[in-house]
Structure 1
Amino acid sequence: MQRKQFTLGDVVQMKKAHPCGTNAWKVIRMGMDVRIKCTGCEHSVMIPRLEFERKMKKVLIHAEGTPEE
């Protein structure tokens, strides 16, 4: 299984939507845990990296600003 590549500042799509209705999250901290911030309501959540990689669907916008094809 290929690991999904993400970096600090990327906007990612998660498998489940946030209660505010948005499904896009910005990666704001990386390490053993990953902190992500909802792009809709600005709520931030810290989750273990392995759980994050399981729940992440795809990268919507790379940190450089180029959308993924």
Structure 2
Amino acid sequence: STAEFWRLRIGIGHPRALQLEQDVADFVLHPPRKDEQAAIDEAMGRGESIVDLLTDGKFEAAMHRLHTRSAL
């Protein structure tokens, strides 16, 4: 984020960090496996759960909710 904009960043990691021999472009562009899709869906839900706080300017509360395991 910058001083003017906040962002929600969802990463997928890097193939080398996961001990995969796959090319980075192929890793990023391949359709996710079921377990990966579940993690993506959870991350998106966690992001959606803080939109109300962000639009109200409650950034600390949003970060707390986002990083608390029971956010959903």
TM-score by length of 2: 0.23
Q: Give 1 or 2 for the bigger CA radius of gyration.
A: 2
Greater relative contact order (CA < 8 Å, ≥ 6 in sequence): 1
Between structures 1 and 2, the one with greater helix share? 2
Between structures 1 and 2, the one with greater strand share? 1
